[in-house]
Amino acid sequence: MRLAGSSSLTASVMVAGALTATILHGNAPIVIALWIAWLVLFARMIWKAIDWVGTFFVVTSNRMLLVSGVLIRQVAMMPLAKVTDMTFHSSSTGRLLGFGKFTLEAAGQDQALSTIDHVPHPEQLYLEIVALIFPSRDSSDD
């Protein structure tokens, strides 16, 4: 789910190009190995981007679902009634880019859905989910 490696991938292509033109100039087997390694890293980044695009976090009035996977689709679900506590964490990078991580605690055994990483607009979504899980007493009195 992380696409932060794209900046390191850009730096690595510049380093590979500089090494090819200077230190490794004329040493074909090492140059080929270097560029094959770079292509593997690039393919991994493309795969992670495809996985990231195909991952969805859905919250309904009754349950939360996390749908992920490219070749094999995985659906993790948790009923809202089982959630006993929910927290979110957003690093400085996450705050700058607008994503965070939710951690759920549930009644009973371990749940398939306990951590949801890289959630967009975490503050707003957190408040909306908490309002569903723990409805205010004012709204139930009406």
Question: Mind listing the pLDDT tens digit for each residue in 28-51?
Answer: 888 888 889 889 988 988 888 898
Same domain? 44 vs 96: no
Same domain? 37 vs 58: no
Compute the mean pLDDT over every residue in the chain, rounded to the nearest whole number.
83
The structural domain count of the chain equals 2
Same domain? 62 vs 32: no
pLDDT for 72: 92
* pLDDT tier at 7, thresholds 50, 70, 90: low
pLDDT for 67: 93
> In 10 A of CB 39, how many CB atoms?
10
Domain boundary among 36, 52, 68: 52
3-state SS class at 74: strand
Exposure of 85 in the CB half-sphere (CA atoms within 13 A): 4
pLDDT for 5: 55
Domain boundary among 16, 33, 52: 52
Same domain? 64 vs 132: yes
Q: Give residues with Cβ within 8 angstroms of 133, minimum separation 6.
A: 80, 83, 86
pLDDT for 80: 87
CATH of the domain at 60: 2.30.29
pLDDT for 138: 62
Q: Taking residues 114-137, what's their average pLDDT?
A: 86
Same domain? 23 vs 77: no
**Closest of 1, 3, 128, 106 to residue 58, by C-alpha:** 128
Give all strands of the β-sheet with 99-106 in edge-to-edge order. Answer: 83-89, 99-106, 115-120
Task: Residue 90: give the domain boundaries.
Answer: 54-141
**Structure-block tokens of residue 6:** 């794209």
Same domain? 11 vs 39: yes
Looking at mean pLDDT, say which of 23-27, 80-84, 100-104, 135-139 comes out highest.
100-104
Same domain? 46 vs 59: no
Same domain? 113 vs 67: yes
